[in-house]
Structure 1
Amino acid sequence: MSAANSLSSRQVPIPPFENLAALREALMRLPQGDARAADAAAARDGMLTKPPGSLGRLEEIVAWLARWQGRYPPVMDQPQTCVFAGNHGIAEAGISAYPQVVTEQMVLNFERGGAAINQLSAELGARMTVVPLELDRPVRNFLHAPAMTEAESLAAFNAGMRAVRPDGSVLCPGEMGIGNTTSASALCLALLGGPAVEWCGRGSGVSSDVLQRKAQIISEGVERHRESIGDGLDALRILGGREIAAMAGAILAARLLAIPVMLDGFICSVAALALHCSGPDSLAHCMVGHASMEPGHRRLLAHLGLRPLLDLDLRLGEGTGAVLGAILAKAALRCHLGMATFAEAGVDSGTAV
């Protein structure tokens, strides 16, 4: 299967969504992956000089790349990291270890190349896109009102869609936003239920007292809006933030552009959850780079049926775990394409290796 056969969908611009009804409809008719490309990857894998299945999930990764790029062989020549930044009104409740000004300061650090995500993106060979979203105008405190109007939520979602480069080989979304672990935990509580404390983590490193207060705030906020939350997009608008909505937009755009997505940690996975709860097939093109130290992340991944590639005790965000997962994907593809077949190596395929 030629790589040239796969890119026709990438030539069509993706129009912005004008309302949530149109977005919900789009989530019900998503393009499917290319099974022939995945089969071609599996066929070559069966001829390589190794016992069947001996490279474990590395074999799965290559088939995933082929299926969702819609081509064989797949490529890893144009990976993209997208870091979205937003501020949260809920931060005024004192649930973070850092003031909101840090969001803007970190955006400048990203733009200057000084953050962890810059170094990991360079190692991957990824183009890095930084998208600050109205940092001078935080979303509303969801204890008192919905975080965003429909228009504001769609504006952030569409900004995320626009940020995705149509020639990308894999997308690694990430985020920055003081207060966004509180928002993400509230989204999980609203959409998946359970005690609030089980979705709460220390985020940027808050004390035990603040953690208890955080759980109480999440419970109060979700209870206030419960009757208005019908699906994931409702929850995203009412409890989320611009950077979370933008990540959801980027994940959907990647699906429409035939680009596989490597998800990051808790907050990125919550953006994916919002899509999943509005369109259950919307995450088929996603893998998860790592399991975060945030306690709610493993619970969330179990619900989504997604198994992380790495477990490194990370809790930084920024897309760092997604990029590490993509580095692993690049190594997997190199193995797949560079290894000799039994015939090429002159090795008897019936002989154990």
Structure 2
Amino acid sequence: MTCENVTQMERQLRERIAQIRPADEDAAAAARRHSDRLTKPPGSLGKLEELAARLAGMTGKLWPDISRRAVLIMAADHGVCEEGVSAFPPEVTPQMVLNFLEGGAAVNVLARQAGADVFCVDVGVNADLSHPRLIDRKVRRGTADMAAGPAMEREEALRAVLAGMELVAGLSEEGYGIFVTGEMGIGNTTASAAIVSVLTGMPPERAAGSGTGIDEERRKHKAAVIGRAIERNKPDASDPIDVLAKVGGLEIAALTGAILGAASCRRPVVVDGYISSAAALAAVRLAPAAADYMIASHLSREQGHGPLLEAIGLSPMTHLDMRLGEGTGAVLSLHLVDASLRLMQEMATFESAGVSRG
């Protein structure tokens, strides 16, 4: 890849980011006024009322059409697994990708319940995969060990980000009205914690959680590996692409692009757990207005997730002690999104029901 091509990708990313506008405050205010006319005390439905207003602001429509919803599972492998940071071997990544494609994973079950379509994307799986439903956007076969050097080249991170943006743009044109982030990649909580540590200043000891279920001794080892990777690579916190390239992952970069793509298309994006939230943080650092289009689905059991959501400016809808990833918590939250819109559309107003106001 030549410097000219990298420059071209940088320009392409800037042009797409420039399309992201803040949410429509007039539409959000109209939704709040309508909510106050419904037969209930003002604000009594809590986050559901605010969610309906935010959805109006995102889309510019009082009652947006989100009947077609897409779950995007970005998959990639991580060289940092060589450092012994995960309870599962790297071979699980391609095995789980095939499980997604055959509809047998938890996210598939929950997506069917929520009426969502699952799209599985190979951004960097360290295997040759073939399946009629697989979306091939492979940039490289997994990242390098970030504890020994950069996880990937800058142009590779850019390619992954742009792949995520292009996928969402295409699905938006097909009529998908809301997006859900999901991922698969053994070792990706380590990369996510490294991204969070760099972009927020959170110590690796705080950013590193139990991931796939490692014990406390290995968690401390994981934090030490993250600290060593940051010290060795010195990622620039003011440059999210540099951070993604040096200590990130290909699926995280692709999710960053998908979130930016949703914002540029004025589509809501439901953010899953810690890994997806790390991508959301990178997206916000690239385009602050992208936060207007994010819905935080749940608070995971990863210890750094709460402070991470606070850094983005998001409040989670639920807290179910989940830490599976895949997009499971975000898909569950689609039911709350549906509820918020149905309340707006189907509840009677004080006037129509002949109910006296308080």
- Relative to the length of structure 2, the TM-score reads 0.89
User: Matched residue of 1:171: which SS?
Assistant: strand
Question: Whole-Å Cα distance in 1 between the matches of residues 84 and 167 of structure 2?
Answer: 31
CA distance in 2, matches of 1:70, 1:256: 13
Instruction: Report how many aligned residue pairs link the two structures.
Output: 335
Q: SS where residue 57 of structure 2 aligns?
A: helix
Deviation readout 1:83-107 (Å, 9 max, x if unpaired): 1110001011111111111011111
167-176 vs 71-80, greater mean Cα deviation: 71-80
CA contact (8 A) 2:74 2:120 kept: yes
2:138 — aligned with what?
A: none
Change (3 A) 1:331 1:32: same
Corresponding residue for residue 213 of structure 1: 221
Aligned pair partner of 1:189 in 197, 200, 222 = 197
TM-superposition CA deviations, 1:165-218 (whole Å, max 9, x none)? 112221111101000001011111112223211011110011222112111100
Instruction: Report the Cα distance in structure 1 between the residues aligned to 2:125 and 2:314, rounded to whole angstroms.
Output: 32
**Following TM superposition, by how much is the alpha carbon of 1:25 offset from its aligned partner in structure 2, in angstroms?**
6.0
Could you say which residue in structure 1 is the equivalent of 2:28? 38
Match for residue 296 of structure 1 among 304, 309, 313: 304
Matches of 2:68 and 2:7 in 1, distance apart? Answer: 26
Distance 2:153 2:215 in 1: 32
CA contact (8 A) 1:19 1:150 kept: no
Q: 1:228 to 1:309 in 2, by over 3 A?
A: closer
Note if contact 1:84-1:176 (Cα within 8 Å) is conserved in structure 2.
yes
Supply the distance in 2 between the matched residues of 1:208 and 1:156 (Cα, whole angstroms). Answer: 33
| DSSP-derived class of the 2:291 partner | coil
Which residue is 2:254 aligned to?
Answer: 246
Distance in 1 between the 2:192 and 2:334 partners? 24
How far apart are residue 59 of structure 1 and its match?
Answer: 0.5
Supply the distance in 2 between the matched residues of 1:17 and 1:320 (Cα, whole angstroms).
37
Pairing of 1:305-344 with structure 2 (within 5 A): 305-344=313-352
Partner of 1:107: 97
1:160 equivalent among 159, 164, 171 = 164
SS at match of 2:125: coil
For residue 46 of structure 1, give the secondary structure of its aligned residue in structure 2: helix
- Once the two structures are overlaid, the 10-residue window that deviates more, 324-333 or 241-250, is 324-333
Normalising by structure 1, report the TM-score.
Answer: 0.90
Q: CA deviation at 1:132?
A: 1.5
Unaligned runs of 5+ in 1: 1-15
1:348 CA displacement: 1.7
The reply to whether residue 178 of structure 1 matches residue 168 of structure 2 is: no
CA contact (8 A) 1:190 1:226 kept: no
Contact 1:97 1:206 in 2 (8 A): yes
Q: CA deviation at 1:227?
A: 5.8
Residues 202-255 of structure 1 show CA distances to partners (whole Å, capped at 9, x for unaligned) of 100112221121111000100112265542221011111110001001001101
Question: In structure 1, the residue corresponding to 2:234 is in which secondary structure?
Answer: helix
Which residue number in structure 1 is paired with residue 47 of structure 2? Answer: 57
1:282 is paired with a residue whose SS is: helix
- 1:8 is matched with none
Tell whether the 8 Å contact from 2:183 to 2:325 is kept in structure 1 after alignment: yes
Q: State the partner residue of 1:77.
A: 67
Quote the Cα distance in structure 2 between the aligned partners of 1:256 and 1:282. 8
Note the aligned Cα RMSD (angstroms): 1.8
1:234 pairs with 2:242: yes
Q: Shift of residue 291 of structure 1? A: 0.4
- Deviation, structure 1 residue 27: 3.6
Which whole-Å CA distance do the structure 2 matches of 1:110 and 1:221 have between them?
31
Percent identical residues: 42
1:142 corresponds in structure 2 to 146
Residues 17 and 264 in structure 2, CA contact (< 8 A), matched pair in contact too: no
AA of the residue aligned to 1:209: E
1: CA distance between counterparts of 2:34 and 2:237? 47
Amino acid at match of 1:142: M
Residues 282-340 of structure 1 deviation map (CA, whole Å, 9 limit, x = unaligned):
31211200001000111111222211010000000011111122211101111111111
Letter matched to residue 283 of structure 1: A
Counterpart CA distance in 1 for 2:70 and 2:283 is 21
